[in-house]
Amino acid sequence: MYEDKTLVCKDCGQEFVFTAGEQEFYAEKGFQNEPQRCKECRAKKKSALREGREMYTAVCADCGKEAKVPFVPKNDRPIYCSECYALHKN
């Protein structure tokens, strides 16, 4: 049903392949638009967004270690460090 497509990155101008598997994933998630950036440029943009984000310090509700979070911690919900969060997520 899906076939690999060659697209052009809007940031660097390089061609990249939008694979049939990626197209199927996009369709399953309900995404309407094709990707506009290659994998490397998407990673750069994501990294830049993270670097500009203010991080807040909290104490992990499970292990007591310091946890950095991108939101103002409130006392109404537990905060977890990345290791404990991964355990709770599963």
Number of domain units in the chain: 2
Say whether pLDDT at 75 is over 90: no
Q: What is the pLDDT of residue 74?
A: 87
Q: Say what the pTM is.
A: 0.57
Give me the percent of the chain exceeding a pLDDT of 90: 69
How does DSSP classify residue 3?
-
Give residue-wise pLDDT tens across range 33-71. Answer: 999 999 999 999 998 887 878 889 999 999 999 998 888
The parent domain of residue 61 ranges over: 56-89
DSSP secondary structure string, 12-77?
T--EEEE-HHHHHHHHHHT--S---S-HHHHHHHHHHHHHTS--EEEE-TTT--EEEESS---TTS
Shared domain for 19 and 35, answered yes or no, is yes
pLDDT bucket at 6, cuts 50 / 70 / 90: very high
Judgement on whether residues 12 and 41 belong to the same structural domain of the protein: yes
Q: For residues 47 and 70, state if they share a domain.
A: no
